[in-house]
């Protein structure tokens, strides 16, 4: 008897028509994604935001609750993302060598600088923090895995933006609002472009209280085998410890960590600066 070949997908896998879409599952994923973006919501608030009936959204939430993917906070009547969602996400992180290989480098960076070390990747117009080693200091920055921050107001985000090809950067600036979080946030495209040029010149970015007052972050890009920036590493801490005179020293440490992680994943630093030259006026 001939052994049947195992298949990972059906013959008609390219067919994305309605017959191959499970509508209820698609609706459940929409509810889950929106709840994660909102950071918690009442049933009525979530249903209104999604323009769906509360009864439908409630059935989805109860089903997900049964799997531990969402939790219900009874006293506040709020629904939140649950531990089950984190467990599924953590299995994704185990797929990539980036996170595994980053841990000892992040630990060394934290020990060398005394500040929290972070690893992040781009997710749309934001940075998704995927790993962190916290400082032992009592006052510290905290970006647990799964936290997201806008690219333009993040040390890692600006390190990645500085390495974007000009056409991609133009599309980013045209398609995203540069939201203000503090009086230091760069919200004018030309101001951001000037900062990105400076980042290219020194090799590291500085988030100078642009997302959170009283906090600074210094970051550098990590490159893949093609020399493309795929992630970033940073140290973050209070301005009382990350003072002006310590920025250059910390920047060199962060660059060394980023270079070490680039080599650890088989990558190579971007050599052709002309490819990523940024024009001040688009």
Segments of the chain scoring below 50 in pLDDT: 13, 272-275, 282
Residue 162 is part of which domain span?
96-276
Residue 55's CATH number: 1.10.10.10
Indicate whether 106 and 42 sit together in one domain. no
Q: Cβ distance 259 to 265 under 8 Å?
A: no
Indicate whether 252 and 121 sit together in one domain. yes
Q: Cβ distance 224 to 230 under 8 Å?
A: yes
Q: Is residue 13 part of a domain?
A: no
Indicate whether 124 and 174 sit together in one domain. yes
Indicate whether 156 and 36 sit together in one domain. no
Indicate whether 189 and 149 sit together in one domain. yes
pLDDT score for 4 = 57
* Residue that is last in its domain, among 87, 111, 145: 87
Number of domains in the chain: 2
Which pTM value belongs to this model?
0.68
Indicate whether 105 and 167 sit together in one domain. yes
Indicate whether 180 and 242 sit together in one domain. yes
pLDDT score for 111 = 95
Indicate whether 171 and 220 sit together in one domain. yes
Q: How far apart are CA 122 and CA 163, in angstroms?
A: 12
* Residue that is last in its domain, among 65, 87, 109: 87
Residues 6+ away with beta carbon under 8 Å from 59: none
Q: Is residue 11 part of a domain?
A: no
Q: Is residue 219 part of a domain?
A: yes
Indicate whether 77 and 130 sit together in one domain. no
Indicate whether 66 and 191 sit together in one domain. no
Q: Is residue 59 part of a domain?
A: yes
Indicate whether 37 and 139 sit together in one domain. no
Q: Is residue 8 part of a domain?
A: no
pLDDT score for 139 = 72
- Give the neighbor-by-neighbor strand order of the sheet with 126-133: 148-150, 126-133, 116-123, 229-238, 215-223, 205-208
Indicate whether 208 and 100 sit together in one domain. yes
Structure tokens at 41: 């919501």
- CA count, 13 A, side-chain hemisphere, 125: 14
Q: How many residues are there in the chain?
A: 282
Residue 123's CATH number: 3.30.450.40
**Strands 215-223 vs 229-238: parallel, antiparallel or unpaired:** antiparallel
pLDDT score for 87 = 79
* Residue that is last in its domain, among 45, 67, 87: 87
pLDDT score for 67 = 92
How many other CB atoms are there within 10 angstroms of residue 239's CB atom?
13
């Amino acid at each position: 008897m001939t052994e049947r070949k195992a298949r990972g997908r059906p013959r008609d896998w390219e067919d994305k028509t309605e017959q191959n879409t499970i509508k209820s599952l698609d609706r459940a994923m929409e509810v889950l994604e929106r709840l994660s973006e909102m950071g918690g919501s009442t049933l009525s608030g979530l249903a209104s935001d999604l323009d769906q009936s509360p009864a439908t959204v409630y059935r989805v939430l109860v089903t997900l609750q049964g799997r531990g993917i969402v939790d219900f906070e009874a006293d506040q009547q709020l629904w939140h993302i649950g531990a089950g969602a984190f467990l599924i996400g953590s299995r994704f992180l185990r797929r990539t060598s980036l996170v595994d290989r980053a841990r000892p480098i992040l630990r060394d960076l934290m020990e060398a600088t005394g500040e929290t070390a972070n690893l992040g990747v781009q997710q749309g117009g934001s940075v998704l923090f995927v790993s962190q080693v916290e400082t032992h200091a009592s006052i510290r920055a905290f970006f647990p895995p799964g936290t997201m921050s806008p690219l333009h107001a993040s040390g890692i985000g600006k390190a990645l933006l500085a390495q974007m090809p000009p056409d991609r950067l133009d599309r980013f600036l045209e398609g995203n609002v540069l939201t203000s979080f503090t009086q230091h946030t760069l919200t004018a495209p030309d101001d951001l472009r000037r900062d990105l040029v400076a980042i290219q010149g020194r090799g590291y970015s500085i988030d100078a209280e642009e997302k959170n007052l009283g906090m600074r972050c210094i970051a550098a890009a990590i490159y893949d085998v093609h020399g493309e920036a795929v992630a970033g590493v940073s140290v973050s801490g209070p301005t009382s410890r990350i003072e002006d005179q310590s920025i250059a020293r910390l920047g060199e440490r962060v660059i060394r960590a980023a270079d070490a992680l680039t080599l650890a994943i088989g990558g190579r630093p971007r050599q052709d600066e002309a490819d990523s030259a940024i024009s001040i006026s688009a």
